[in-house]
């Protein structure tokens, strides 16, 4: 199959597209350069690493952000506030939307340890 390019683009359209792509890749590089990414990478299985590489090579910075935020190696203390609230809601924590981050972490840990005992 022959690859076709849109030759009707103006110089400025090409420039804008390239700038957008470059900025996206810089954002991904910034995430990959972080110690947090390095730690998650080292703790990843082969499948998890493959998922990260797909996200990186796709150029979609949201995918790599999601991979980093939802990595199974993360503990509740490492999660962002929104993820804590989502998890608390799933576990049935009362008043999860009104309590602090620290209280969410404790409530989730209590619920999860209670579930493990059952």
- Count CA within 13 A, CB hemisphere, residue 36: 14
Distance CA 87, CA 116 (A): 16
pLDDT in tens, 12-33: 999 998 999 899 899 999 999 9
pLDDT in tens, 43-74: 999 999 999 999 999 988 899 988 998 888 88
Tell me the average pLDDT across 94-98.
90
Residue 1 has pLDDT above 70, yes or no: no
Residue 3 has pLDDT above 70, yes or no: no
| Residue found under tokens 């972490």 | 105
Task: Pull the structure tokens for residue 65.
Answer: 């952000």
Task: Pull the structure tokens for residue 95.
Answer: 């008043």
What is the per-residue pLDDT for 64? 92
Return the domain boundaries, the chain.
11-69, 77-117
Total-model pTM: 0.63
């Amino acid at each position: 199959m022959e690859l076709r390019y849109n030759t009707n683009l103006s110089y400025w359209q090409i420039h804008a597209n390239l700038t957008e792509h470059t900025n996206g890749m810089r954002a991904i590089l910034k995430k990959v350069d972080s110690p947090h990414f390095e730690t998650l990478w080292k703790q990843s299985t082969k499948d998890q690493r493959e998922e990260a590489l797909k996200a990186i090579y796709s150029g979609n910075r949201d995918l790599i952000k999601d991979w980093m935020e939802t990595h199974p190696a993360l503990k509740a203390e490492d999660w962002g506030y929104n993820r804590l609230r989502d998890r608390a809601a799933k576990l049935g924590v009362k008043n999860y939307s009104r309590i602090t981050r620290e209280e969410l972490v404790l409530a989730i840990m209590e619920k999860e340890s209670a579930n493990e005992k059952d």
